[in-house]
Amino acid sequence: MTSDDVTGEKFCRGCGSVVLERIEDSRAEWHSSSKDEYDNRTRTGSPTSLAMHDMGLATIIGRQNKDSYGKPLSSLMKSTITRLRVWDSRSQMHESASRNLTEAFGELKRLADKLALPDAVVEKTAYIYRKALEKHLVKGRSIPVLLAAALHIACRDSGTPRTLREIADQNNVKIKYASKCYRLLLQELDLRMPVVNPVQCISRIASKVGLKEKTKRGAIAILEDAVSKDVTSGKNPMALAAAALYLSCVINGDQVSQKVIALAAGVTEVTIRNRYKGLGKTLDLDLSGHHNSNIMPDYAK
DNA sequence: TAAGATAAGAGGGACAT
DNA sequence: ATGTCAGTCTTATCTTA
């Protein structure tokens, strides 16, 4: 468990889910730390989730005028409960914000399914989206586009590389618009993104194409060497990974075209060519004899 | 058919005005 | 704020093996 220096939020380093929204705000705690506290819970049922518009508290007050033993309520109690019920429903739905969240999180679930993303990322996205809504960044922008941006941030932040393009495509959102929103969120929410390690991208591309384990390892070796020689900064990590993989394919005699890898990586063939020329040069590989693997250094085999 | 080469253009960051 | 600049990446087209 760590806490955010700026906002004072506590969140889990492992899964990224926010545990305590504001430290001095005692109402928002939903992780019980002791058995006692757990037993005192008045709520039961599914665990709360940030990806529900009301954090999963939708049914605090039921519709029947019965107490917890099933006995009817006194008339005094009844009016109290009725009043509470009004507040309850207001806090659930009366704002446009809530409606927005309901719709957005429905969309988010759908999107996460399509992209096969873990729950932690969904939670993180929901959290970011809430923040964006609080800051009134959603107003005047479409829900899907903000969602795409938030999802991309969540992915990057939790080391689950998904390009903004992939997300935007799944969401039927213009990439250009999505990247604008992405930067907007970064700036407005004061977020800092870790630099994507291109090595992480390799296995995704490799498995998409169905490459051998050996070529994958070769690509990682190439890429790590390139990173250590500091020739990778400013380059698209996906392009670097794709280039390293292609290089490794050539070395290992795998008959895979640039086109296939380019498609899997979401970059162009030209970009792969440019990158892998650079890689070959800095790593001192001889690229002239494509099918002569003997000239390649051992680490890449 | 795959890969290389070249050129034009888009988009965004850095930096100065 | 606005403009310029270098660098990256994409799209398109032609050539080469």
Q: Going residue by residue through chain A (301 aa), what tens digit of pLDDT does each one get? A: 444 433 434 444 444 444 443 333 333 334 434 443 444 444 444 456 777 766 655 455 555 666 666 666 666 666 666 666 666 565 554 567 888 899 999 999 999 999 999 999 999 999 999 999 999 999 889 999 999 999 999 999 888 889 999 999 999 999 999 999 999 999 999 888 888 889 889 999 999 999 999 999 999 999 999 988 888 988 999 999 999 999 999 999 999 999 999 999 999 999 999 998 989 887 765 454 443 333 344 444 4
Nucleotide C16 C1' to residue A254 CA (A):
22
Query: How far, in Å, is the CA of A144 from the C1' of nucleotide C12?
Result: 31
Tracing tokens 């494509």 back to the chain, one arrives at A290
Judge if the beta carbon of A267 is closer than 7 A to nucleic acid strand C: yes
Q: Verify if strand C has an atom below 7 Å from the CB of A282.
A: no
Beta bridge partners of A10: A3, A20
Torsion of CA A125, A266, A116, A174, to 10 degrees: 50
Spacing of A256 CA from C10 C1' in Å: 22
User: Sheet holding A18-20: strands in order across?
Assistant: A2-3, A10-11, A18-20
CA of A247 to C1' of C2 (A): 43
A102, A108 contact by CB (below 8 A): no
First to last CA, chain A: 41
pTM of the model: 0.71
Q: Do A216 and A186 meet the contact criterion of CB atoms below 8 Å apart?
A: no
Q: Which nucleotides of C are covered by protein (CB under 7 A)?
A: 7-12
| Amino acid at site A191 | L
| CA A176 / C1′ B16 distance in Å | 27
Across all strands, nucleotide nearest A250 (CA–C1')? B3
Task: Please state whether A292 falls in left (phi above 0), alpha (psi between -120 and 50) or beta.
Answer: beta
Number of other CB atoms surrounding residue A230 within 10 Å? 8
Instruction: Name the token pair of A224.
Output: 């790590």
Strand C lies under 7 A from the Cβ of residue A277: no
